[in-house]
C-alpha cells in the first residue's frame, strides 16, 4: 500500500504532457465494441476542431475480461502506464467499484457511462461521476408509472442471477416499501438459461397485472417472446440495462414492441437524430444505448479538460460544475456525482421508441 501511495503522489505532482491528451476507456470484454465506437466518435469530432488547445486526444481502451480483480489492474495500468487524464467506464457495477477504488487513490476522474449501482456514489468519492440514472432513480420512475399512473397492484419481477440485476431489484423493492406496496413475485434465472417457459409458467395462474424485467440484452428477446405467448396484452417494463449493446436497430426494437422502458433525455431530438445518422454512416450500424452514453461521456470529459485549462486538479471541479446538453439530454451532477434531473420513460410503438408524457 505504501508503494501505491508513493506512486499516487508522484502521479498527482507530474506535469501534463505536451504530446497527447490520453483518456482511458474500460469495457467489459473485447466484444463490447459499441462503447468504443461511441467514445471514438466523440474524440474524432473533438480532434477535428483542434482537440484541447491544439493537443490531439487519444483513446486508450482496455478490457476487463478475466479473473476477478482484472478491472482494478486495468485501471491502474491506464493511470500509471498510459498516463490518462480520466477514465470512462462502460461495464458492470461490480467492476465499477474496483475502478472507483483505484481512481480514488490517485484522484483521477472516473465517469461511469453504464453501471447504475447506487452504492457507487454512496462512498462519497469526489472523483466519481455517473452519467446513467442510478437504480434508485430508475426505480422511482418505474414505480410512479406502474402504481400511480397505471394503477397496477399485482406485479412480477423477472431478473438475472447477477450483481447488477440484484442491485436494481433491491432499489425497486426499497422504493416499493416507501410507498407501502407489497413485494412483487420474483422469478430468477441464470444468464446461461435458454428456456424460460418453466419459470414463466408461474405467471399463468398468478393473476399478474404487470411485469418488470431486470435483465441484460442477451436473453431479453427470448423472455419477452415467451411472455407474449402467455399473455399478449400484459404491460412489461424494463430498465436502461435492457437497452445494452445488442439493441441497436429498429429490428431489435421491433422485438420489444409495446415495452415501457426507462429513458434518459429525449433520444428522438434533432441532436439525437444527427448522432444516430453520423454513427450509422461511420460504423454501418445504429448506435445502442451503450454507444450513446459512451459518446456523451467522452464528449463531457473532453469539455471538462478544456475548462480545467489542462490542470489535473481542476478537472474534477470542472466536471462537477458542468452543464452539458448531450444526446441523452441535459447532464448535471449532484454533490455525490449522481446525474440530476427527471428520469423519463418511453414505449416502443411499431419499432420506434416514443416518449411517455409524465
Instruction: Mark residue 340 as left, alpha or beta (left: phi above 0; alpha: psi -120 to 50; beta: remaining).
Output: beta
Q: Could you tell me which residue, 231 or 155, shows the higher pLDDT?
A: 155
Residue 91: give the domain boundaries.
2-133+269-331
Return mean pLDDT, the chain.
88
Residue 325 — pLDDT band, cuts 50, 70, 90?
Answer: very high
In a shared domain, residues 176 and 120: no
The average pLDDT across 91-103 equals 94
**Residue 30 backbone dihedrals phi, psi, to 5 degrees:** -70, -15
* Contact indicator for 295, 111 with CB cutoff of 8 Å: no
Residue 16 — pLDDT band, cuts 50, 70, 90?
Answer: low
Q: How much is the pLDDT for 257? A: 87
Q: Would residue 338 count as lying in a domain? A: no
Q: How much is the pLDDT for 218? A: 75
Indicate the range of 29-33, 79-83, 192-196 predicted with least confidence.
192-196
Q: How much is the pLDDT for 2? A: 42
In a shared domain, residues 140 and 212: yes
| Percentage above 90 pLDDT, the chain | 61
Q: Would residue 336 count as lying in a domain? A: no
Q: Could you tell me which residue, 354 or 171, shows the higher pLDDT?
A: 171
Task: Return the SS3 of 295.
Answer: helix
In a shared domain, residues 226 and 351: yes
Q: Would residue 56 count as lying in a domain? A: yes
Q: Would residue 54 count as lying in a domain? A: yes
Q: Would residue 157 count as lying in a domain? A: yes
pLDDT per residue as tens digits for the range 23-40: 999 999 888 899 999 999
Helices (H) and strands (E) in the chain, counts: 12, 14
Give the separation between CA 90 and CA 27, rounded to whole angstroms.
Answer: 5
Q: How much is the pLDDT for 205? A: 74
Other CB atoms within a 10 A radius of the CB of residue 206 amount to: 11
Q: Would residue 188 count as lying in a domain? A: yes
Q: How much is the pLDDT for 200? A: 81
Q: Would residue 196 count as lying in a domain? A: yes
CATH code of 254's domain: 3.40.50.2300
Give the separation between CA 82 and CA 79, rounded to whole angstroms.
Answer: 6
The average pLDDT across 323-351 equals 92
Residue 147 — pLDDT band, cuts 50, 70, 90?
Answer: very high
**How many domains does the chain fold into?**
2
Q: Would residue 351 count as lying in a domain? A: yes
pLDDT per residue as tens digits for the range 62-74: 999 888 778 889 9
Q: Strand pairing partners for 352?
A: 349
Is the pLDDT at 241 greater than 80? The verdict is: yes
In a shared domain, residues 304 and 239: no
In a shared domain, residues 199 and 128: no
In a shared domain, residues 6 and 51: yes
Exposure string over 215-230, b if 16+ CB within 10 A, otherwise e: bbbebbebbbebbeee
Exposure string over 296-320, b if 16+ CB within 10 A, otherwise e: bbbbbbbbbbeebebebeebbebbb
The average pLDDT across 52-67 equals 93
Q: How much is the pLDDT for 252? A: 67
pLDDT per residue as tens digits for the range 276-306: 899 999 999 888 889 999 999 999 999 999 9
Is the pLDDT at 15 greater than 80? The verdict is: no
pLDDT per residue as tens digits for the range 113-137: 999 999 999 988 899 999 999 999 9
Query: pTM of the prediction?
Result: 0.91
In a shared domain, residues 251 and 142: yes
The average pLDDT across 174-179 equals 92
In a shared domain, residues 257 and 285: no
Q: How much is the pLDDT for 268? A: 64
* Contact indicator for 345, 331 with CB cutoff of 8 Å: no
pLDDT per residue as tens digits for the range 247-280: 555 556 777 889 999 986 666 678 888 998 999 9
In a shared domain, residues 276 and 350: no
Find which of 13-27, 163-177, 232-246, 303-317 is predicted with most confidence, using mean pLDDT. Answer: 163-177
In a shared domain, residues 127 and 142: no
In a shared domain, residues 149 and 58: no
In a shared domain, residues 129 and 278: yes
Is the pLDDT at 149 greater than 90? The verdict is: yes
Is the pLDDT at 348 greater than 70? The verdict is: yes
Amino acid at each position: 500500500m505504501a508503494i501505491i501511495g508513493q506512486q499516487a503522489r508522484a502521479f498527482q505532482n507530474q506535469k501534463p504532457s505536451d504530446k497527447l491528451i490520453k483518456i482511458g476507456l474500460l469495457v467489459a470484454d473485447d466484444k463490447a465494441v459499441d462503447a468504443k465506437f461511441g467514445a471514438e466518435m466523440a474524440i474524432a469530432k473533438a480532434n477535428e476542431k483542434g482537440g484541447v488547445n491544439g493537443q490531439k486526444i487519444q483513446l486508450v481502451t482496455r478490457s476487463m475480461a478475466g479473473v476477478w480483480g482484472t478491472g482494478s489492474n486495468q485501471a491502474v495500468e491506464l493511470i500509471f502506464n498510459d498516463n490518462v487524464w480520466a477514465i470512462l467506464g462502460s461495464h458492470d457495477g461490480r467492476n465499477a467499484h474496483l475502478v472507483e477504488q483505484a481512481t480514488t487513490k490517485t484522484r483521477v476522474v472516473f465517469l461511469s457511462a453504464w453501471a447504475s449501482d447506487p452504492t457507487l456514489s454512496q462512498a462519497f468519492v469526489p472523483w466519481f461521476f455517473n452519467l446513467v440514472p442510478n437504480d434508485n432513480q430508475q426505480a422511482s420512475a418505474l414505480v410512479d408509472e406502474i402504481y400511480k399512473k397505471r394503477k397496477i397492484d399485482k406485479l412480477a419481477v423477472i431478473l438475472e442471477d447477477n450483481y447488477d440485476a440484484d442491485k436494481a431489484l433491491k432499489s425497486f423493492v426499497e422504493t416499493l416499501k416507501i410507498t407501502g406496496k407489497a413485494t412483487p413475485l420474483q422469478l430468477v434465472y441464470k444468464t446461461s438459461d435458454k428456456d424460460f417457459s418453466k419459470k414463466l409458467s408461474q405467471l399463468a395462474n398468478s393473476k399478474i397485472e404487470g411485469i418488470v424485467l431486470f435483465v441484460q440484452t442477451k436473453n431479453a428477446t427470448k423472455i419477452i417472446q415467451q411472455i407474449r405467448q402467455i399473455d399478449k396484452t400484459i404491460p412489461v417494463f424494463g430498465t436502461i440495462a435492457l437497452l445494452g449493446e445488442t439493441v441497436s436497430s429498429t429490428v431489435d426494437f421491433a422485438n420489444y414492441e409495446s415495452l415501457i422502458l426507462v429513458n434518459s433525455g429525449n433520444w428522438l431530438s434533432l441532436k439525437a437524430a444527427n448522432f444516430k445518422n453520423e454513427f450509422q454512416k461511420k460504423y454501418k450500424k445504429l448506435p445502442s444505448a451503450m454507444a450513446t452514453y459512451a459518446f456523451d461521456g467522452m464528449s463531457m470529459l473532453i469539455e471538462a479538460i478544456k475548462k480545467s485549462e489542462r490542470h489535473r486538479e481542476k478537472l474534477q471541479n470542472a466536471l462537477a460544475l458542468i452543464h452539458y446538453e448531450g444526446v441523452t439530454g441535459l447532464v448535471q451532477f449532484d454533490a455525490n456525482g449522481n446525474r440530476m434531473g427527471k428520469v423519463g420513460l418511453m414505449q416502443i410503438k411499431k419499432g420506434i421508441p416514443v416518449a411517455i408524457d409524465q
